[in-house]
Amino acid sequence: MAYTDLRDWIKTLEKSGELKRITVEVDPILEMAEIADRTAKLGRGTPKAGGPALLFENVKGHPGAQVLMNQFGSERRMRLALETNSLDDIANRIRTLIKPQMPTNFMDKMKLLPMLAEVGNFFPKVVSAKDALCKQVIHRGEDVNLLDLPILKTWPNDGGRFITLPCVITRDPKSGKRNVGMYRMQVYDAKTTGMHWQRQKVAAEHMRDRLRAATADRAGNVDLMALTAGGTTAATSLDTLATTTVTRIREDRMEVAVAIGTDPATTFSAIVPAPPDVEEYLISGFLRQKPLELVKAETVDLEVPAHAEYILEGYVQLGELRTEGPFGDHTGFYTMQEDYPVFHLTCITHRKDPIYAATIVGKPPMEDAWMGKAVERIFLPLMQLTLPEIVDVNLPPEGVFHNLMIVSIKKSYAGHARKIMNGIWAMGQAMFTKCIIVVDEDCDVQDLAEVTLRATNNIDPERDIQFTLGPIDSLDHASRLPNYGSKMGIDATRKWAAEGFTRPWPAMLTMDAEVKSKIDAHWKKLGIE
C-alpha cells in the first residue's frame, strides 16, 4: 500500500530497522551534514552499503523540530521507498505499459482491464483545503519566516543555508501542465531564496517561455535567454532592451510552490529526468499505484501535495537574478557563485509539528547515488524504446551521473557504437553525459573490472575515441565555457572488417565447460579455500 505521507514512510523505516533516531543535540550548521556523510559511506562496497535513515529530534536552535536525512540512502531503502522487491520490476511495469499487446480475443481484452485500472491510479486527485494536512498551520505576509525552518548548511564554504530536498512546482505557461523538479534553494533571508534551476531544466524553460512572451519584439535574444539561470547579470541584459519591454518583463511574476517532506515516491519523482510533457505527479501515481492527493495552494495558482510537511508559496520575478553559491555539490567540488533567479515567499503552510526533510550531496557515494541508481534501472526501458539495441546501462556514482555512462549493445552494423553515442547525447538529460563507454553485449556493464579490461584492451585510442561538442551540465567546472563544452565516446566494442579493421580479432579467454565441472567437483577437497 502506498505511503500516505512522510510520517507513514518514517513508520515503515522504523519497523524495518532502517531508522536511527538521534536524540543528542545536533547543529543543522555542518554537524548534521557530517553525521549524514559518515552514515552514507558505511559498508561502502558491500551489499549492505549505506547506513540507516536519520531522524534528528534535538535540533540546535530549533526546539521541537525534527529533521529526516538519508531516507533513500541504500539500495534496500530505495526499494522500500518504491515498494518493490526489485527496481527491475518497475522497469518491467513500464515495459508492459509502453508495449501493450493488441488483444485478439475476448480473454486477451479482459487481461487489459487491470492495466486500465492501473492507469486510472496515476492521475492525481484534488482534495479540498479542509482535508489537506499541509494547511494545518498557515503563515502569510509578515508572518512568513523561513528562518524558523531547521535548514542546513552542509559544507564549510557554502554561501549559506540551502534547502536541499525541495520539490519545486511550476506551471508550463503554454500547456498548463505542472512540473515538479528538485532544484536547491539558498536561503537569503526570511522571505527570499535562490532558485537553482539550471538552464536546461524544465522550470527554466517555463521561465524562458514567459520571457519570450514578454519580449516578442526581441525573440531569440541570447542574453535574455541567459536571464533564466546561470547567466550574465539581469541589469546588463535588460539594458539592451526597450524600456517598454523591460517594464513588461518586470511586471511578470512566475508563480512557484515548493513541497518539502512528502511521501517518498513524490520526492523521488522530482528528480527523475521525465520528458517535459509528463507531469511528475503522474509518475508519482504510477510509482505509488495510488493517486496522489493535491490541494490548491493559498496564494498561487498551483496544486501541491496535500500531505506535505511544508509548502512554500511565492514567485520568481522575471528579469531578477542574484548571486547563488558557492555550494558543496555532488561532484565532490564546490560549484562557484553564479546568478540565478530569486524566489520570493508569499506564504508558508505546514503540518502541526512538521518534519523537515533534507539531504547532503558531496563526494560519492552519498544518498543521491541510490536515487540515481533507481533512475538508471527505471529508465532503461525508456532508453530501449528509442535505442532497442541497448542491453544494459551503468552510471557509476563516482561518474556523478553526467560524467560517465557505460552502455552495452547488440552490435549489428559498422559504426553502431557511434550511433549509440549520438543517440544518448540526443536523449533528454543524457545529453549532459561527458563520457560514454560502449561495449559489446557479452560485457557485464555493472562489473567495472570487466569494463576496464574491455575499454582499454579493445581500443586504438586515436581511432576509437569520438569527440563532440554540446550542452554541458551546469555543475561541470572544467568545460571551456559554463554549460557548453566537449564530450567523449569510447568505442570499446570488437572492431569489424566492415569498420576497416583487417587484423584478426582474438577470442576472449574461457575454460572448457567440461574441465570446469571436473574441477568444481574436486575444488573443496583441494583445500585451497
Ligand X SMILES: Cc1cc2nc3c(=O)[nH]c(=O)nc-3n(C[C@H](O)[C@H](O)[C@H](O)COP(=O)(O)O)c2cc1C
Catalytic residues: 329
Q: Which cell goes with 472?
A: 554541458
Stretch that binds Mn ion, among 159-167, 174-182, 358-366, 390-398 (CB under 5 A): 174-182
Give the CB-side neighbour count of residue 94, counting CA atoms within 13 A. 17
Q: Which is nearer to ligand X, 163 or 214 (CB)?
A: 163
- DSSP assignment of 182-239, as one string? ---EEEEETTEEE----TTSHHHHHHHHHHHHHTGGGTT-HHHHGGGTTBS-HHHHHH
CB of 524 to ligand X, least distance (A): 47
- Binders of Mn ion among residues 490 to 519 (CB under 5 A) are none
Q: Which of 215, 220, 210, 190 is nearest to 255 (CA)?
A: 210
417, 493 Cβ separation under 8 angstroms: yes
Bridge partners for 67 per DSSP: 56, 356
Smaller CB separation from Mn ion, 276 or 423: 276
Rg (CA), the chain: 25
Closest separation in Å from C-beta 277 to Mn ion: 9
> Residue 368 binds what, of Mn ion, ligand X, none (CB under 5 to 8 Å, by partner type)?
ligand X
Distance of closest approach, residue 409 Cβ to Mn ion, in angstroms: 28
Query: Could you tell which of ligand X, Mn ion, none binds residue 201, using a CB distance below 5 to 8 A set by kind?
Result: ligand X
**Which residue, 333, 384, 321, is CA-closest to 361?**
333
Phi, psi for 401 (deg, rounded to 5): 70, -40
Q: List strands edge to edge, sheet with 465-471.
A: 390-394, 404-409, 435-440, 484-491, 465-471
What does the per-residue mask of binding to Mn ion show for 249-278, with x meaning CB under 5 A? -------------------------x----
Task: Tally Cβ neighbours within 10 Å of residue 177.
Answer: 16
Determine if 179 is a binding residue for Mn ion (CB under 5 A): yes
Residues that bind ligand X (CB under 6 A): 164, 179, 181-184, 196-198, 201-203, 270-273, 359, 361, 368, 371, 429
Q: Which residues contact 307 (CB under 8 A, 6 or more apart)?
A: 4, 5, 6, 132, 133, 134, 262, 263, 293
Report which residue's Cβ sits closest to ligand X.
Answer: 181
- Total number of residues binding Mn ion (CB under 5 A)? 3
Residue 434, classed as helix, strand or coil, is coil
Cα(491)–Cα(474) distance, integer angstroms: 26
Which residue, judged by CB position, is nearest to Mn ion in the bound state?
A: 202
In the complex with ligand X, which residue's Cβ is closer, 108 or 398?
398
39 binds, among ligand X, Mn ion, none (CB under 5 to 8 A by kind): none
> Which residue's CB is nearer to ligand X, number 231 or number 298?
231
C-beta of 181 vs 381, nearer to ligand X: 181
Of residues 363 and 494, the one with the C-beta less far from ligand X: 363
The rounded distance, in Å, linking the Cα atoms of 270 and 166 is 8
| CA dihedral (280, 284, 287, 292) positive or negative | negative
DSSP state of 298: S
- Minimum gap (Å) between residue 199 Cβ and ligand X: 8
CB 221, min distance to ligand X, A: 22
Q: Does 283 bind Mn ion (CB under 5 A)?
A: no
Helix (H, G, I), strand (E, B) or coil at 453: helix
CB of 78 to ligand X, least distance (A): 12
Cis peptide before 365 (omega within 30 of 0): yes
Task: Work out how close the CB of 425 gets to ligand X at its nearest, in angstroms, rounded to a whole number.
Answer: 16
The nearest distance, CB 92 to ligand X, in angstroms, is: 22
* Cβ proximity to ligand X, 10 vs 371, nearer residue: 371
CB count within 10 Å of CB 401 equals 25
- The site string for Mn ion over 193-222 (x = CB under 5 A, - otherwise) reads ---------x--------------------
| Exposed / middle / buried, residue 313 (Cβ in 10 Å: 0-12, 13-18, 19+) | buried
Closer to ligand X by Cβ: residue 122 or 183: 183
Contacting residues toward Mn ion, per CB under 5 A: 179, 202, 274
